[in-house]
Structure 1
Amino acid sequence: MNRPHYILLPASSAFIFISLLLTFLLNFLPWGTMIGVPDFVALTLVFWSIHQPRKVGIGVAFAMGLLMDVHTASLLGENALAYTLLSYFAITIHRRVLWFTPMTQALHVFPLFLLTEIIRAVIQLCVNGKFPGWLFFVESAVTAALWPLATWILLAPQRRTVNRDDTRPI
């Protein structure tokens, strides 16, 4: 318990919007058929659902899911359903997760990302009749592994002090 505890500034709604927009654009990159490419939108949605559940909730997750459905040309509502459930369960566990370090938080959010992949696989199985394969679930492990980095990046603007003072202990 020797690590410093920061008193965080409130999260700016503009910063939350920009982070969601940038992760949405990251999902636009032409990854092709690479295995294990993380879902950056899901990662950012879970992060903000845990850290700012009153600003980013199920409605934002549904809208981002519809945008991802249009982008990936998948069945309309597939990502929307997955992101909505992802946000709901993230909001459900947000008080407990915040007590842990980012590495332990990654273990807590991994089942959420895995649930998202299971929902997508079941929908594809029902519609196409084809199972996407077991390597399809690697994406959730890679996304959970990026959790500490996402925490460090997305909390950085909140850690700065309003008035910088070298003699202040906090």
Structure 2
Amino acid sequence: MILPRGQALLLPANPTFIWGSLAAALALQVLQGQLSGAAWLPDWMALVLVFWIIHQPLRIGVGVAFVAGLCMDVHQGVLLGQHALAYSAMGYLAVTLHRRVLWFDLRRQTLHVLPLLAIAFALQALVRLLAGHGAPPALAWLSPFLTAALWIPATGVLLAPQRRPHAPDENRPL
């Protein structure tokens, strides 16, 4: 694969960092829920899941998204399977689109990620509605847009360990 001009060749992703970032996203989501409980705030777990599913689809996939959704269901005390269904569908669509998304710059990647996050939120709202808990407040529909707006800074933070300079070696041309 030929890289676009100005794009650096990345080092392999460290599995410890991947799982640590997922754990940090879960912790941030838990902390956000305890501090404010506002439904319009970004979904950190969905953001980090979509990022790693797009960038590392062989390590993080639909199964991890399902388990992360179950963890979110247990934490928020909602209908068991609500987040699991939404994150699994989002993960499946992210795996399907991962090759296409990576060819675009970050602004256009955000436009590809926004529908994934919106579908996940809509599935959660549909499950809540069918379970008889009512529709989410109108302000809650800002959540996928705020989460997608964080795609560019999240990409910078989550790819930072892969951009560090490699050890120079006079026998290796790269």
Q: TM-score, normalised by structure 2?
A: 0.90
Q: 1:120 aligned to 2:124? A: yes
Q: How many angstroms apart in 1 are the aligned matches of 2:38 and 2:138?
A: 14
Q: CA deviation at 1:33?
A: 3.8
Question: Which residue is 1:150 aligned to?
Answer: 154
Note the aligned Cα RMSD (angstroms).
2.0
Q: How many angstroms apart in 2 are the aligned matches of 1:27 and 1:144?
A: 16
Among 137, 140, 144, the alignment partner of 1:136 is: 140
Question: Which residue is 1:45 aligned to?
Answer: 49
Q: 1:24 aligned to 2:22? A: no
SS at match of 1:144: helix
Contact 1:37 1:139 in 2 (8 A): yes
Among 81, 90, 98, the alignment partner of 2:94 is: 90
Among 162, 167, 174, the alignment partner of 1:163 is: 167
SS at match of 1:85: helix
Q: TM-score, normalised by structure 1?
A: 0.92
Post-superposition CA distance 1:128-163 (Å, at most 9, x none):
251113222110000000000000000000011221
Q: CA deviation at 1:104?
A: 1.1
Q: 1:79 aligned to 2:74? A: no
Contact 1:23 1:40 in 2 (8 A): yes
Quote the sequence identity (%).
Answer: 46
Q: Give the number of equivalent residue pairs.
A: 168
Contact 1:31 1:37 in 2 (8 A): no
SS at match of 2:131: helix
SS at match of 1:36: coil
Question: Which residue is 2:8 aligned to?
Answer: 6
Amino acid at match of 2:121: E
Amino acid at match of 2:103: W
Q: How many angstroms apart in 1 are the aligned matches of 2:37 and 2:56?
A: 33
Question: Which residue is 1:102 aligned to?
Answer: 106
Q: CA deviation at 1:36?
A: 2.4
SS at match of 1:82: helix
Q: CA deviation at 1:35?
A: 4.7
Among 15, 18, 21, the alignment partner of 2:17 is: 15
Q: Which runs of 4+ in 1 moved over 3 A?
A: none
Q: How many angstroms apart in 1 are the aligned matches of 2:26 and 2:110?
A: 21
